[in-house]
Amino acid sequence: MLETGSPEYAVIRNYLDWATSLPWDTTSADNLNLPRAREILDADHAGLDDVKERIIEFLAVGKLRGGVAGSIILLVGPPGVGKTSIGRSVAKALDRQFYRFSVGGMRDEAEIKGHRRTYIGAMPGKFVQALKEVGTKNPVLMLDEIDKIGGSYHGDPASALLEVLDLEQNADFLDHYPDLRFDLSEALFIGTANQLDTIPRPLLDRMEIIRLPGYITEEKVAIARQHLWPRQVERAGLQPGQIKISDAGLTALINGYARESGVRGLEKQLGRITRKAAVKVVQGDPRRISLGPRNLAAFVGQPMFKNEPPQRATGVVTGLAWTSMGGATLDVEATQVHTKNQGFKLTGQLGEVMRESAEIAYSYVSSNLSDFKGEPTFFDETYVHLHVPEGATPKDGPSAGVTMATALLSLARGQRIKVPAAMTGELTLTGKVLPVGGIREKVVAARRGGIRTLILPAANRADAGELPDYLTQGLTLRFAEHYSDVFNVVFG
Protein backbone atom coordinates (compact mmCIF):
# COMPACT_ATOMS: atom_id res chain seq x y z
CA MET A 1 0.00 0.00 0.00
CA LEU A 2 2.99 2.25 0.23
CA GLU A 3 3.82 4.75 -2.45
CA THR A 4 6.68 3.24 -4.50
CA GLY A 5 8.51 6.55 -4.40
CA SER A 6 8.55 6.80 -0.64
CA PRO A 7 11.81 6.12 1.17
CA GLU A 8 10.01 3.72 3.46
CA TYR A 9 9.12 1.58 0.45
CA ALA A 10 12.76 0.99 -0.47
CA VAL A 11 13.71 0.19 3.11
CA ILE A 12 10.97 -2.40 3.52
CA ARG A 13 11.51 -3.90 0.12
CA ASN A 14 15.20 -4.24 0.81
CA TYR A 15 14.56 -5.88 4.13
CA LEU A 16 12.16 -8.41 2.64
CA ASP A 17 14.67 -9.17 -0.08
CA TRP A 18 17.28 -10.01 2.52
CA ALA A 19 14.96 -11.97 4.78
CA THR A 20 13.67 -14.14 1.96
CA SER A 21 16.97 -14.75 0.27
CA LEU A 22 18.77 -16.31 3.23
CA PRO A 23 19.24 -20.11 3.07
CA TRP A 24 17.02 -20.81 6.08
CA ASP A 25 16.64 -24.44 5.19
CA THR A 26 19.14 -25.25 2.49
CA THR A 27 22.07 -27.47 3.33
CA SER A 28 24.51 -29.22 1.03
CA ALA A 29 25.25 -32.89 1.67
CA ASP A 30 28.68 -33.48 3.20
CA ASN A 31 31.11 -35.71 1.45
CA LEU A 32 33.16 -37.46 4.11
CA ASN A 33 35.01 -39.82 1.82
CA LEU A 34 38.51 -39.74 3.29
CA PRO A 35 40.57 -41.11 0.38
CA ARG A 36 38.90 -38.60 -1.93
CA ALA A 37 39.57 -35.77 0.54
CA ARG A 38 43.22 -36.76 0.72
CA GLU A 39 43.39 -36.79 -3.08
CA ILE A 40 42.00 -33.28 -3.27
CA LEU A 41 44.37 -31.99 -0.61
CA ASP A 42 47.30 -33.66 -2.37
CA ALA A 43 46.32 -32.35 -5.77
CA ASP A 44 46.14 -28.75 -4.53
CA HIS A 45 49.20 -28.72 -2.29
CA ALA A 46 52.67 -30.13 -2.38
CA GLY A 47 54.11 -31.20 0.98
CA LEU A 48 52.31 -30.07 4.15
CA ASP A 49 51.89 -33.70 5.16
CA ASP A 50 51.23 -33.08 8.83
CA VAL A 51 48.67 -30.39 8.05
CA LYS A 52 46.87 -32.70 5.64
CA GLU A 53 46.92 -35.45 8.23
CA ARG A 54 45.36 -33.20 10.83
CA ILE A 55 42.60 -32.32 8.41
CA ILE A 56 41.95 -35.95 7.56
CA GLU A 57 41.74 -36.75 11.30
CA PHE A 58 39.29 -33.94 11.64
CA LEU A 59 37.13 -35.31 8.83
CA ALA A 60 37.33 -38.83 10.25
CA VAL A 61 36.02 -37.61 13.59
CA GLY A 62 33.28 -35.79 11.71
CA LYS A 63 32.35 -38.99 9.97
CA LEU A 64 32.05 -40.96 13.22
CA ARG A 65 30.09 -38.22 14.94
CA GLY A 66 27.82 -37.62 11.99
CA GLY A 67 28.96 -34.10 11.10
CA VAL A 68 31.96 -31.79 11.25
CA ALA A 69 30.14 -29.05 13.13
CA GLY A 70 31.39 -28.34 16.59
CA SER A 71 34.98 -27.43 16.04
CA ILE A 72 36.75 -24.43 14.68
CA ILE A 73 40.10 -24.75 12.96
CA LEU A 74 42.73 -22.03 13.18
CA LEU A 75 45.54 -22.14 10.63
CA VAL A 76 48.56 -20.23 11.89
CA GLY A 77 51.65 -19.34 9.93
CA PRO A 78 53.55 -16.66 8.05
CA PRO A 79 52.10 -15.09 4.85
CA GLY A 80 52.09 -17.16 1.69
CA VAL A 81 52.35 -20.64 3.22
CA GLY A 82 48.99 -21.78 1.89
CA LYS A 83 46.54 -21.12 4.75
CA THR A 84 43.81 -19.68 2.57
CA SER A 85 44.34 -22.22 -0.10
CA ILE A 86 44.15 -25.16 2.37
CA GLY A 87 40.84 -23.76 3.60
CA ARG A 88 39.52 -23.71 0.08
CA SER A 89 40.59 -27.34 -0.40
CA VAL A 90 38.81 -28.39 2.78
CA ALA A 91 35.59 -26.92 1.38
CA LYS A 92 36.19 -28.69 -1.89
CA ALA A 93 36.86 -32.00 -0.14
CA LEU A 94 33.66 -31.71 1.88
CA ASP A 95 31.64 -30.56 -1.16
CA ARG A 96 30.66 -27.46 0.73
CA GLN A 97 30.35 -23.86 -0.41
CA PHE A 98 33.27 -21.62 0.52
CA TYR A 99 33.24 -18.00 1.57
CA ARG A 100 36.19 -16.01 2.80
CA PHE A 101 36.36 -12.62 4.38
CA SER A 102 38.91 -10.73 6.37
CA VAL A 103 38.19 -9.77 9.94
CA GLY A 104 41.55 -7.99 10.07
CA GLY A 105 41.03 -4.29 10.66
CA MET A 106 37.37 -4.71 11.63
CA ARG A 107 36.71 -2.09 14.25
CA ASP A 108 32.97 -1.95 14.30
CA GLU A 109 30.77 -4.58 15.86
CA ALA A 110 28.14 -3.90 13.18
CA GLU A 111 30.44 -5.46 10.60
CA ILE A 112 29.75 -8.79 12.30
CA LYS A 113 26.35 -8.32 13.87
CA GLY A 114 24.80 -5.89 11.37
CA HIS A 115 23.07 -2.55 11.90
CA ARG A 116 19.63 -2.05 13.27
CA ARG A 117 17.18 -1.26 10.51
CA THR A 118 16.37 2.15 11.95
CA TYR A 119 19.84 3.19 10.91
CA ILE A 120 20.07 4.94 7.53
CA GLY A 121 21.95 2.80 5.06
CA ALA A 122 21.70 -0.21 7.41
CA MET A 123 23.38 -3.41 6.24
CA PRO A 124 23.53 -6.93 7.62
CA GLY A 125 26.85 -8.12 9.02
CA LYS A 126 29.43 -10.21 7.18
CA PHE A 127 28.02 -13.58 8.24
CA VAL A 128 24.56 -12.89 6.90
CA GLN A 129 26.07 -11.46 3.71
CA ALA A 130 28.10 -14.64 3.35
CA LEU A 131 25.06 -16.87 3.82
CA LYS A 132 23.11 -15.02 1.16
CA GLU A 133 26.02 -15.27 -1.23
CA VAL A 134 26.65 -19.02 -0.81
CA GLY A 135 22.99 -20.05 -0.53
CA THR A 136 23.52 -22.87 1.99
CA LYS A 137 23.45 -22.78 5.77
CA ASN A 138 26.47 -25.07 6.15
CA PRO A 139 29.26 -23.43 4.15
CA VAL A 140 32.94 -23.33 5.08
CA LEU A 141 33.41 -19.78 6.34
CA MET A 142 36.97 -18.60 6.39
CA LEU A 143 37.79 -15.75 8.74
CA ASP A 144 41.08 -14.33 7.54
CA GLU A 145 43.51 -12.42 9.75
CA ILE A 146 41.88 -13.15 13.08
CA ASP A 147 45.02 -11.88 14.76
CA LYS A 148 44.43 -8.38 13.38
CA ILE A 149 40.90 -7.87 14.60
CA GLY A 150 40.55 -4.40 16.13
CA GLY A 151 38.39 -2.59 18.62
CA SER A 152 37.12 0.97 18.97
CA TYR A 153 34.30 3.03 20.45
CA HIS A 154 31.94 1.32 17.99
CA GLY A 155 32.10 -1.79 20.08
CA ASP A 156 34.35 -4.76 20.16
CA PRO A 157 34.20 -6.99 17.08
CA ALA A 158 36.22 -9.65 18.87
CA SER A 159 33.49 -10.29 21.40
CA ALA A 160 30.86 -10.30 18.66
CA LEU A 161 32.96 -12.90 16.89
CA LEU A 162 33.13 -14.88 20.09
CA GLU A 163 29.37 -15.08 20.07
CA VAL A 164 29.35 -16.40 16.50
CA LEU A 165 31.99 -19.01 17.25
CA ASP A 166 30.41 -20.14 20.50
CA LEU A 167 28.79 -23.45 19.79
CA GLU A 168 26.30 -22.96 22.59
CA GLN A 169 25.09 -19.67 21.18
CA ASN A 170 25.44 -19.78 17.45
CA ALA A 171 22.43 -22.02 16.84
CA ASP A 172 20.40 -18.86 17.17
CA PHE A 173 22.68 -16.17 15.92
CA LEU A 174 20.98 -12.80 15.82
CA ASP A 175 22.01 -10.23 13.26
CA HIS A 176 20.47 -6.84 14.01
CA TYR A 177 19.45 -6.22 10.43
CA PRO A 178 17.16 -9.17 9.66
CA ASP A 179 16.46 -9.31 13.39
CA LEU A 180 15.57 -12.98 12.99
CA ARG A 181 17.55 -15.78 14.54
CA PHE A 182 19.60 -17.86 12.15
CA ASP A 183 21.10 -21.27 12.87
CA LEU A 184 24.83 -21.00 12.20
CA SER A 185 25.73 -24.19 14.00
CA GLU A 186 26.17 -26.23 10.83
CA ALA A 187 28.71 -23.89 9.28
CA LEU A 188 32.36 -24.89 9.50
CA PHE A 189 34.60 -22.03 10.60
CA ILE A 190 38.24 -21.86 9.64
CA GLY A 191 40.33 -18.97 10.89
CA THR A 192 43.76 -17.88 9.70
CA ALA A 193 46.39 -15.87 11.55
CA ASN A 194 50.05 -14.98 11.32
CA GLN A 195 50.57 -15.21 15.07
CA LEU A 196 48.74 -16.20 18.21
CA ASP A 197 49.91 -13.44 20.58
CA THR A 198 47.33 -10.85 19.59
CA ILE A 199 44.31 -13.15 19.48
CA PRO A 200 42.03 -12.66 22.48
CA ARG A 201 42.39 -15.64 24.80
CA PRO A 202 38.69 -16.70 24.90
CA LEU A 203 38.67 -16.77 21.10
CA LEU A 204 41.82 -18.85 21.03
CA ASP A 205 40.44 -21.35 23.51
CA ARG A 206 37.62 -22.24 21.14
CA MET A 207 39.85 -23.07 18.21
CA GLU A 208 41.86 -26.07 17.21
CA ILE A 209 45.26 -24.79 16.17
CA ILE A 210 47.10 -26.14 13.13
CA ARG A 211 50.51 -24.64 12.42
CA LEU A 212 52.05 -24.05 9.00
CA PRO A 213 55.61 -23.13 9.86
CA GLY A 214 57.06 -22.10 6.50
CA TYR A 215 58.95 -23.96 3.81
CA ILE A 216 62.55 -25.00 3.30
CA THR A 217 64.15 -24.76 -0.12
CA GLU A 218 63.44 -28.35 -1.17
CA GLU A 219 59.75 -27.93 -0.40
CA LYS A 220 59.60 -24.69 -2.35
CA VAL A 221 61.19 -26.38 -5.36
CA ALA A 222 58.47 -29.04 -5.24
CA ILE A 223 55.70 -26.45 -4.88
CA ALA A 224 57.10 -24.39 -7.75
CA ARG A 225 57.53 -27.42 -9.97
CA GLN A 226 54.04 -28.82 -9.39
CA HIS A 227 51.97 -25.69 -8.96
CA LEU A 228 53.46 -22.23 -9.34
CA TRP A 229 55.49 -22.74 -12.50
CA PRO A 230 52.77 -24.45 -14.59
CA ARG A 231 50.33 -21.75 -13.45
CA GLN A 232 52.63 -18.87 -14.42
CA VAL A 233 53.51 -20.45 -17.75
CA GLU A 234 49.85 -20.70 -18.55
CA ARG A 235 49.13 -17.18 -17.35
CA ALA A 236 51.76 -15.77 -19.66
CA GLY A 237 50.07 -17.53 -22.57
CA LEU A 238 53.06 -19.81 -23.21
CA GLN A 239 52.93 -23.47 -24.20
CA PRO A 240 54.66 -25.83 -21.75
CA GLY A 241 57.02 -26.87 -24.57
CA GLN A 242 58.26 -23.32 -25.15
CA ILE A 243 59.96 -22.81 -21.82
CA LYS A 244 61.51 -24.86 -19.07
CA ILE A 245 63.41 -24.28 -15.87
CA SER A 246 65.75 -26.77 -14.23
CA ASP A 247 65.62 -27.75 -10.56
CA ALA A 248 68.99 -26.08 -10.11
CA GLY A 249 67.49 -22.94 -11.63
CA LEU A 250 64.58 -23.02 -9.21
CA THR A 251 66.92 -23.53 -6.28
CA ALA A 252 69.07 -20.58 -7.34
CA LEU A 253 65.96 -18.45 -7.75
CA ILE A 254 64.70 -19.37 -4.28
CA ASN A 255 68.04 -18.79 -2.57
CA GLY A 256 68.89 -15.62 -4.44
CA TYR A 257 65.56 -13.86 -4.85
CA ALA A 258 62.85 -15.32 -2.64
CA ARG A 259 64.10 -16.12 0.83
CA GLU A 260 60.76 -15.90 2.56
CA SER A 261 58.76 -18.36 4.65
CA GLY A 262 55.94 -18.63 2.11
CA VAL A 263 55.97 -18.78 -1.66
CA ARG A 264 54.33 -15.52 -2.79
CA GLY A 265 57.60 -13.80 -3.65
CA LEU A 266 58.71 -16.91 -5.49
CA GLU A 267 55.54 -16.93 -7.55
CA LYS A 268 56.07 -13.26 -8.41
CA GLN A 269 59.59 -13.97 -9.62
CA LEU A 270 58.35 -16.86 -11.73
CA GLY A 271 55.77 -14.48 -13.18
CA ARG A 272 58.54 -12.02 -14.12
CA ILE A 273 60.42 -14.81 -15.88
CA THR A 274 57.45 -16.00 -17.89
CA ARG A 275 56.51 -12.45 -18.93
CA LYS A 276 60.04 -11.79 -20.17
CA ALA A 277 59.88 -15.08 -22.01
CA ALA A 278 56.58 -14.03 -23.58
CA VAL A 279 58.32 -10.96 -25.03
CA LYS A 280 60.99 -13.15 -26.60
CA VAL A 281 58.40 -15.45 -28.10
CA VAL A 282 56.36 -12.58 -29.53
CA GLN A 283 59.51 -11.00 -30.98
CA GLY A 284 59.94 -14.18 -32.93
CA ASP A 285 62.78 -15.90 -31.11
CA PRO A 286 62.25 -19.47 -32.34
CA ARG A 287 64.45 -21.15 -29.75
CA ARG A 288 63.04 -22.99 -26.78
CA ILE A 289 63.79 -21.00 -23.65
CA SER A 290 65.61 -22.95 -21.02
CA LEU A 291 66.45 -21.50 -17.63
CA GLY A 292 69.14 -22.52 -15.21
CA PRO A 293 71.28 -20.87 -12.57
CA ARG A 294 73.49 -19.23 -15.25
CA ASN A 295 70.93 -17.24 -17.17
CA LEU A 296 68.54 -16.31 -14.35
CA ALA A 297 70.00 -12.83 -13.99
CA ALA A 298 69.02 -12.02 -17.58
CA PHE A 299 65.39 -12.52 -16.59
CA VAL A 300 65.13 -11.28 -13.03
CA GLY A 301 68.22 -9.11 -12.48
CA GLN A 302 70.95 -9.56 -9.91
CA PRO A 303 70.13 -11.70 -6.86
CA MET A 304 68.92 -9.88 -3.77
CA PHE A 305 70.53 -12.36 -1.39
CA LYS A 306 74.01 -13.76 -1.60
CA ASN A 307 74.57 -17.31 -0.59
CA GLU A 308 77.32 -16.80 1.90
CA PRO A 309 77.74 -18.68 5.14
CA PRO A 310 77.03 -16.65 8.27
CA GLN A 311 79.67 -14.02 8.93
CA ARG A 312 82.23 -14.87 11.51
CA ALA A 313 83.88 -11.77 12.81
CA THR A 314 84.85 -10.91 16.36
CA GLY A 315 81.76 -9.76 18.20
CA VAL A 316 79.32 -10.98 15.53
CA VAL A 317 77.03 -13.88 16.35
CA THR A 318 73.97 -15.21 14.53
CA GLY A 319 70.74 -15.57 16.45
CA LEU A 320 67.38 -17.02 15.51
CA ALA A 321 64.26 -14.91 15.64
CA TRP A 322 60.62 -15.63 15.23
CA THR A 323 58.10 -13.03 14.10
CA SER A 324 54.69 -13.10 12.51
CA MET A 325 56.53 -13.26 9.17
CA GLY A 326 58.07 -16.58 10.15
CA GLY A 327 61.50 -17.52 11.40
CA ALA A 328 64.60 -15.50 10.53
CA THR A 329 68.29 -15.44 11.22
CA LEU A 330 69.39 -12.24 12.89
CA ASP A 331 72.97 -11.18 13.54
CA VAL A 332 73.98 -9.47 16.74
CA GLU A 333 77.05 -7.22 16.58
CA ALA A 334 79.14 -6.00 19.47
CA THR A 335 82.00 -3.58 19.10
CA GLN A 336 84.31 -1.50 21.25
CA VAL A 337 83.87 2.25 20.84
CA HIS A 338 87.00 4.39 21.22
CA THR A 339 86.18 6.91 23.88
CA LYS A 340 87.63 7.49 27.30
CA ASN A 341 84.40 6.44 28.99
CA GLN A 342 83.20 3.09 30.08
CA GLY A 343 79.63 2.06 29.25
CA PHE A 344 77.14 0.26 27.13
CA LYS A 345 74.94 1.38 24.24
CA LEU A 346 72.18 -0.47 22.42
CA THR A 347 70.72 0.17 18.95
CA GLY A 348 68.56 -1.59 16.36
CA GLN A 349 64.96 -0.58 17.23
CA LEU A 350 64.71 -3.17 19.95
CA GLY A 351 61.53 -3.70 21.93
CA GLU A 352 61.38 -3.34 25.69
CA VAL A 353 61.88 -7.02 26.48
CA MET A 354 64.77 -7.35 24.05
CA ARG A 355 66.52 -4.30 25.56
CA GLU A 356 66.22 -5.90 28.94
CA SER A 357 67.68 -9.15 27.74
CA ALA A 358 70.62 -7.17 26.29
CA GLU A 359 71.20 -5.63 29.71
CA ILE A 360 71.00 -9.04 31.34
CA ALA A 361 73.53 -10.38 28.84
CA TYR A 362 75.82 -7.43 29.59
CA SER A 363 75.58 -7.88 33.36
CA TYR A 364 76.03 -11.62 33.12
CA VAL A 365 79.03 -11.55 30.83
CA SER A 366 80.80 -8.66 32.53
CA SER A 367 80.48 -10.21 35.96
CA ASN A 368 81.44 -13.74 34.94
CA LEU A 369 84.20 -12.90 32.53
CA SER A 370 86.92 -14.74 34.36
CA ASP A 371 84.92 -18.00 34.19
CA PHE A 372 84.98 -17.64 30.43
CA LYS A 373 88.69 -16.94 30.15
CA GLY A 374 88.37 -13.27 29.33
CA GLU A 375 90.31 -10.39 30.84
CA PRO A 376 88.23 -9.73 34.03
CA THR A 377 88.72 -5.97 33.74
CA PHE A 378 87.75 -5.74 30.06
CA PHE A 379 84.36 -4.11 30.63
CA ASP A 380 85.73 -1.73 33.28
CA GLU A 381 87.66 0.07 30.59
CA THR A 382 85.49 -0.39 27.55
CA TYR A 383 82.58 1.39 25.98
CA VAL A 384 80.57 -1.31 24.23
CA HIS A 385 78.08 -0.80 21.43
CA LEU A 386 75.65 -3.66 20.79
CA HIS A 387 73.63 -3.51 17.60
CA VAL A 388 71.06 -5.74 15.92
CA PRO A 389 70.98 -4.84 12.20
CA GLU A 390 67.99 -4.67 9.87
CA GLY A 391 66.03 -1.83 11.40
CA ALA A 392 62.95 -2.75 9.42
CA THR A 393 62.38 -6.11 11.13
CA PRO A 394 60.44 -5.74 14.36
CA LYS A 395 62.58 -7.14 17.15
CA ASP A 396 61.39 -8.07 20.56
CA GLY A 397 61.25 -10.93 23.00
CA PRO A 398 63.81 -12.53 25.28
CA SER A 399 65.08 -15.22 22.93
CA ALA A 400 68.23 -13.38 21.80
CA GLY A 401 69.71 -13.44 25.33
CA VAL A 402 72.32 -16.12 24.67
CA THR A 403 73.18 -14.60 21.28
CA MET A 404 73.91 -11.20 22.78
CA ALA A 405 75.93 -12.72 25.59
CA THR A 406 78.00 -14.64 23.05
CA ALA A 407 78.58 -11.50 20.96
CA LEU A 408 79.81 -9.65 24.06
CA LEU A 409 81.99 -12.55 25.07
CA SER A 410 83.50 -12.82 21.62
CA LEU A 411 84.35 -9.12 21.82
CA ALA A 412 85.82 -9.42 25.29
CA ARG A 413 87.94 -12.41 24.33
CA GLY A 414 88.97 -10.76 21.08
CA GLN A 415 88.13 -13.99 19.30
CA ARG A 416 85.60 -15.11 16.74
CA ILE A 417 83.29 -17.97 17.61
CA LYS A 418 84.93 -21.20 16.46
CA VAL A 419 81.84 -22.89 15.07
CA PRO A 420 79.50 -21.08 12.68
CA ALA A 421 76.49 -21.78 14.87
CA ALA A 422 73.20 -19.99 15.29
CA MET A 423 71.58 -19.87 18.67
CA THR A 424 68.44 -18.98 20.56
CA GLY A 425 67.52 -18.94 24.23
CA GLU A 426 66.53 -16.65 27.03
CA LEU A 427 69.33 -15.91 29.50
CA THR A 428 68.88 -15.21 33.19
CA LEU A 429 71.25 -13.28 35.45
CA THR A 430 72.52 -16.53 36.88
CA GLY A 431 73.29 -17.92 33.45
CA LYS A 432 70.38 -20.30 33.13
CA VAL A 433 69.10 -20.81 29.60
CA LEU A 434 65.29 -20.76 29.45
CA PRO A 435 63.06 -22.21 26.72
CA VAL A 436 61.78 -20.10 23.80
CA GLY A 437 58.99 -20.37 21.24
CA GLY A 438 58.98 -21.02 17.51
CA ILE A 439 61.62 -23.79 17.46
CA ARG A 440 60.34 -25.22 14.21
CA GLU A 441 60.21 -21.85 12.46
CA LYS A 442 63.71 -21.13 13.69
CA VAL A 443 65.07 -24.44 12.43
CA VAL A 444 63.50 -23.72 9.05
CA ALA A 445 65.11 -20.27 9.01
CA ALA A 446 68.52 -21.68 9.97
CA ARG A 447 68.33 -24.16 7.09
CA ARG A 448 67.39 -21.38 4.72
CA GLY A 449 70.38 -19.39 5.96
CA GLY A 450 72.80 -22.26 5.36
CA ILE A 451 73.57 -22.82 9.03
CA ARG A 452 74.53 -26.31 10.16
CA THR A 453 74.94 -26.06 13.94
CA LEU A 454 72.15 -24.86 16.18
CA ILE A 455 72.19 -24.21 19.89
CA LEU A 456 68.79 -24.49 21.56
CA PRO A 457 67.63 -24.36 25.18
CA ALA A 458 67.63 -27.80 26.85
CA ALA A 459 63.99 -27.29 27.82
CA ASN A 460 63.11 -27.20 24.11
CA ARG A 461 64.47 -30.68 23.53
CA ALA A 462 60.95 -32.09 23.23
CA ASP A 463 59.99 -29.50 20.56
CA ALA A 464 63.09 -30.38 18.61
CA GLY A 465 62.31 -34.08 18.97
CA GLU A 466 58.97 -33.56 17.27
CA LEU A 467 60.50 -32.09 14.13
CA PRO A 468 60.29 -34.27 11.03
CA ASP A 469 63.53 -35.86 9.90
CA TYR A 470 63.79 -33.95 6.67
CA LEU A 471 64.07 -30.72 8.68
CA THR A 472 66.81 -31.87 11.01
CA GLN A 473 68.77 -34.00 8.57
CA GLY A 474 72.34 -32.78 8.31
CA LEU A 475 71.94 -30.33 11.18
CA THR A 476 73.76 -30.60 14.48
CA LEU A 477 71.47 -29.63 17.34
CA ARG A 478 73.15 -28.80 20.65
CA PHE A 479 71.20 -28.16 23.82
CA ALA A 480 72.11 -25.74 26.56
CA GLU A 481 70.86 -25.75 30.12
CA HIS A 482 73.33 -23.18 31.34
CA TYR A 483 75.27 -20.54 29.43
CA SER A 484 78.46 -22.55 29.95
CA ASP A 485 77.00 -25.18 27.59
CA VAL A 486 76.76 -22.53 24.88
CA PHE A 487 80.29 -21.42 25.68
CA ASN A 488 81.61 -24.96 25.31
CA VAL A 489 80.10 -25.33 21.86
CA VAL A 490 81.30 -22.05 20.37
CA PHE A 491 84.59 -21.45 22.19
CA GLY A 492 85.37 -24.88 23.64
Ligand X SMILES: Nc1ncnc2c1ncn2[C@@H]1O[C@H](COP(=O)(O)OP(=O)(O)O)[C@@H](O)[C@H]1O
Task: Pick what 46 binds: ligand X, Mg ion, none; C-beta below 5 to 8 Å, kind-dependent.
Answer: ligand X
- CA distances (Å), origin 8, targets 182, 276, 294, 479: 25, 57, 70, 72
Q: How many CB atoms lie within 10 A of CB 491?
A: 18
Whether residue 70 contacts residue 18, with contact meaning beta carbons closer than 8 Å, is answered with no
Cα–Cα distance measured from residue 444 to residue 440, given in angstroms and rounded to the nearest whole number: 6
Contacts with Mg ion, 148-167, as mask; x by CB under 5 A: --------------------
Could you tell me how many residues of this chain bind Mg ion (CB under 5 A)? 1
Active site residue 442: yes
Q: How far is the CB of 79 from ligand X (least distance, A)?
A: 4
Q: Which does 81 bind (CB under 5 to 8 A by kind): Mg ion, ligand X, none?
A: ligand X
| Smaller CB separation from Mg ion, 33 or 84 | 84
- Closest residue (Cβ) to Mg ion? 84
Beta pairing partners, 100: 142
Comparison of 195 and 363: residue with beta carbon closer to Mg ion = 195
Instruction: Write the CB contacts of 472 (distance below 8 Å, at least 6 apart in sequence).
Output: 443, 464
> Which of Mg ion, ligand X, none does residue 80 bind (CB under 5 to 8 Å by kind)?
ligand X
Known catalytic residue at 399: yes
Pick the closer one to ligand X by CB: 192 or 366: 192
Of the candidates 262, 247, 251, 226, which has an alpha carbon nearest to the alpha carbon of residue 444?
Answer: 262
Task: Provide the 10 A C-beta neighbour count for residue 92.
Answer: 17
| Residue 176, CB-side half-sphere exposure with 13 Å CA sphere | 15
∠ Cα 51 53 57 (to 5°):
120
Nearest to 54 by CA among 224, 246, 190: 190
Nearer to Mg ion, 84 or 185 (CB): 84
Angle formed at CA 414 by CA 401 and CA 448, multiple of 5 degrees: 50
From the list Mg ion, ligand X, none, pick the one residue 263 interacts with, judged by a Cβ distance below 5 to 8 Å according to partner type: ligand X
**CB 104, min distance to ligand X, A:** 12
Task: Pick the closer one to Mg ion by CB: 32 or 149.
Answer: 149
From 52, 126, 395, 442, active-site residue: 442
User: Exactly one of 357, 399, 418, 432 is catalytic; which is it?
Assistant: 399
Q: Which does 85 bind (CB under 5 to 8 A by kind): Mg ion, ligand X, none?
A: ligand X
Q: How far is the CB of 222 from ligand X (least distance, A)?
A: 8
* b (16+ CB within 10 A) / e for 8-20: eeebeeebeebee
Q: Mark residue 220 as left, alpha or beta (left: phi above 0; alpha: psi -120 to 50; beta: remaining).
A: alpha
In whole angstroms, how close is the CB of 203 to Mg ion at the nearest point? 18
User: What does the per-residue mask of binding to Mg ion show for 74-113, with x meaning CB under 5 A?
Assistant: ----------x-----------------------------
CB 262, min distance to ligand X, A? 6
Which option in ligand X, Mg ion, none does residue 23 bind, with CB closer than 5 to 8 A by kind? none
Residue type, 164: V
Q: Pick between residue 14 and residue 84 the one whose CB is nearest to ligand X.
A: 84
Question: Which of 446, 315, 459 lies closest to 388, judged by CA?
Answer: 315
Q: Least distance in Å: CB of 7 to ligand X? A: 42
List of residues contacting ligand X (CB under 6 A): 45-48, 77, 79-85, 192, 223, 227, 262-264
Q: Please report, as ranges, the residues that interact with Mg ion according to CB under 5 A.
A: 84
User: What are the catalytic residues?
Assistant: 399, 442
